[in-house]
Amino acid sequence: MKIDAIRGREAAHFLPVVRRLPLALAEGRGSRVRDVEGQEFVDLTAGWGVTCIGHCHPALVEAIRAQAGRLMQTTNLFYTLPQLDLIERLNAITPDAITRSFLVSSGTEAVEGALKLAHRATGRANFVSTENGFHGRTLGALRVIGQAKHRDPYRALLPDGHVVPYDDLEAARTAVNDSCAAFIVEPLQGRAA
For residue 63, the enclosing domain spans 3-68
Nearest to 81 by CA among 66, 96, 59, 99: 66
Q: Determine the Cα–Cα distance for residues 89 and 81; give it in Å rounded to an integer.
A: 12
On whether the CB atoms of residues 136 and 100 are closer than 8 A, the answer is no
Spatial neighbors of 34 by CB under 8 A, at least 6 apart, are 25, 26, 27, 28, 40, 41
Domain co-membership, 113 together with 178 = yes
Where a domain ends, among 41, 68, 95?
68
Domain co-membership, 58 together with 9 = yes
Per-residue pLDDT of the chain (193 residues; tens, 9 = 90+): 899 999 999 999 998 888 888 999 999 998 899 999 999 999 887 666 656 788 998 998 999 999 999 998 888 889 999 999 999 999 999 999 999 998 888 889 999 999 999 999 999 999 999 999 999 989 999 999 999 999 999 999 998 889 999 999 999 999 999 999 999 998 888 777 5
Q: Determine the Cα–Cα distance for residues 186 and 189; give it in Å rounded to an integer.
A: 6
Residue 113 within any structural domain of the chain:
yes
Q: Determine the Cα–Cα distance for residues 185 and 161; give it in Å rounded to an integer.
A: 13
Measure the CA angle with vertex 22, ends 21 and 23; round to 5°: 95
Spatial neighbors of 154 by CB under 8 A, at least 6 apart, are 139, 142
Residue 188 within any structural domain of the chain:
no
Residue 75 within any structural domain of the chain:
no
Q: What is the model's pLDDT at position 193?
A: 58
Q: What is the tally of structural domains in the chain? A: 2
| Strands laid side by side in the 40-42 sheet | 25-29, 32-35, 40-42
**pTM across the whole model:** 0.79
Q: What does the CA dihedral 36, 40, 41, 46 come to, rounded to 10 degrees?
A: 70
Q: Which residues face 29 on adjacent strands?
A: 32
Residue 95 within any structural domain of the chain:
no
Three-state DSSP class for residue 163? strand
Residue 92 within any structural domain of the chain:
no
